[in-house]
Amino acid sequence: MTKRRKTTLIIVTALLFAAFILIFSTLTGPGIYPRGWKNTLYIPTGSTYSQALDSIYSTFDVRGKKLFEWVARMRKYPGLVKPGRYVFDKKTSFLKFLSTLRTGRQTPVNVTFSNVRTLYQVAARVGDKIEADSTSLIAYLLKESNYSADGFRKETVISVFIPNTYELYWNTQAPGFFEKMLKEYRKFWNGQRLRKAGEERLTPVEVSTVASIVDEETIRPDEKARIAGVYLNRLKRGMALQADPTIKFALNDFTLTRILYKHLQVDSPYNTYKHPGLPPGPINCPSVESIDAVLDAEKHDYIYFVAKADNSGYHVFSRTLTEHNHYASEYQKYLDKRKITN
């Protein structure tokens, strides 16, 4: 080989090596940057490759789109588009970015719900966090055939949603959300809780129903087990629960602070003054604290209680109707003095 050919070969090799280093550094070095504060990419369910690119380019500044798309084709991303929510660092390489997308390595979202009374409120809380909106969620939850095989009715399915914070993938749809909650529900109702429910001769749904009433009766955690004991005593004696929160539920008015005789006439299966036993289902999404209060209810012989006439949020408990009427009269006078009429 002549000296000139050797020199040419060395130059070509050097150029190829330099090109390789340049391409390698481009692929593995920072090449994708968030636009402004956005570093989260959403790829909706059913997106095509073209639509995925639109989402990428609207969210990130890609330095070298032609090269990026060439790499995407080499990595077979056009046929591997996966929906989801993807969170990236402030700067990401082409290879790392595409590896995350083509393998569907999503970043979960945290979904928290508590203090909810209806399925509509559950749907609203969750619909803000996942791809399934509140409309599709409530449509699923109101269709009883979606969960009747799991032993629930429209009136009882709210008991599935144990208040907590859950990790979900953003592209979760209504059926997947319910399956996730059902799995968590079964995990919550472990052997110990099932044993305690059985000792009270209650099913988990019935425990949740009592707990939902307890939740509405008191703001004082240290009273919950005692109030639960009252309702369990009434159930065992075959007495009507006469729970004011069920009247509010029947009237769909939880702003009521004073239950009057006219309210007790409401025609509803949730009217526990007219109908003995438990109402058809929970009147809210009961807290874990109240569920456990029912399972660990105080053992006593109280069958009545009424709020104390001191604005403390606590209650006075009674064993006899005469005693109860005395305290109830004091509370009525307290309400009259404060001009609370409804």
- Per-residue pLDDT tens digits for 316-331: 999 999 999 889 888 8
| pLDDT reading at 179 higher than 90 | yes
How far, CA to CA in Å, does 197 sit from each of 189, 203, 253, 287, 294? 10, 6, 30, 16, 9
Model pLDDT, residue 29: 47
pLDDT at 10: 46
- Distance CA(212)–CA(218), nearest Å, equals 11
CB atoms within 10 A of CB 187: 9
| pLDDT at residue 50 is higher than 50 | yes
pLDDT tens digits for 198-208?
999 999 999 99
Question: Where do the H-state alpha helices sit in 164-311?
Answer: 174-188, 191-199, 204-217, 224-236, 244-251, 288-295
Tokens 């059902």 belong to residue:
182
pLDDT at 38: 76
pLDDT tens per residue, range 254-280: 888 888 889 999 999 999 999 999 999
Helix (H, G, I), strand (E, B) or coil at 341: coil
Decide: residue 340, CB within 10 A, 0-12 exposed, 13-18 middle, 19+ buried. Answer: exposed
Q: What is the mean pLDDT of residues 141-167?
A: 96
**pLDDT band at 194, cuts 50/70/90?**
very high
In eight-state DSSP terms, residue 80 is -
pLDDT at 23: 52
Residue 1: per-residue pLDDT: 57
- Section 126-152 average pLDDT: 96
- Where residue 64 falls among pLDDT bands split at 50, 70, 90? confident
d(CA 226, CA 233): 11
Confidence at 53, pLDDT banded by 50, 70, 90: very high
pLDDT of residue 331: 85
Secondary structure of 148-195 as H, E, C letters: HHHCCCCCCHHHHCCCEEEEECCCCCHHHHHHHHHHHHHHHCCHHHHH
Tokens, residue 72 = 């995407």
Mapped onto helix, strand or coil, the DSSP state of residue 240 is: coil
What pLDDT, on the 0 to 100 scale, is given for residue 201? 96
pLDDT of 249 > 90? The answer is yes
Query: Burial level of 16, CB count in 10 A (0-12/13-18/19+)?
Result: exposed
R_g over Cα of the chain = 31
Are 33 and 63 a contacting pair, CB within 8 Å?
yes
* Lowest mean per-residue pLDDT among 112-116, 168-172, 236-240: 112-116
Q: Which of 140, 155, 158 is nearest to 284 (CA)?
A: 158
- Cβ atoms of residues 108 and 168 within 8 Å: yes
Q: What is the pLDDT of residue 309?
A: 86
The secondary structure of the chain in percent helix, strand, coil, rounded to multiples of 5, reads 50, 10, 40
pLDDT of residue 22: 44
**Statement: residue 155 has pLDDT above 90:** yes
Contact 279, 153 (CB under 8 A): no
pLDDT score recorded for residue 9: 45
Which range scores top for mean pLDDT: 4-18, 19-33, 112-126, 169-183? 169-183
Predicted local confidence at residue 14, as pLDDT: 39
Q: What is the C-alpha to C-alpha distance for residues 41 and 57, in angstroms, rounded to an integer? A: 10
pLDDT of residue 90: 83
- Tell me, what's the pLDDT at 30? 59
> Is residue 184 scored above 50 in pLDDT?
yes
Q: What pLDDT score does 5 carry?
A: 56
**Model pLDDT, residue 17:** 37
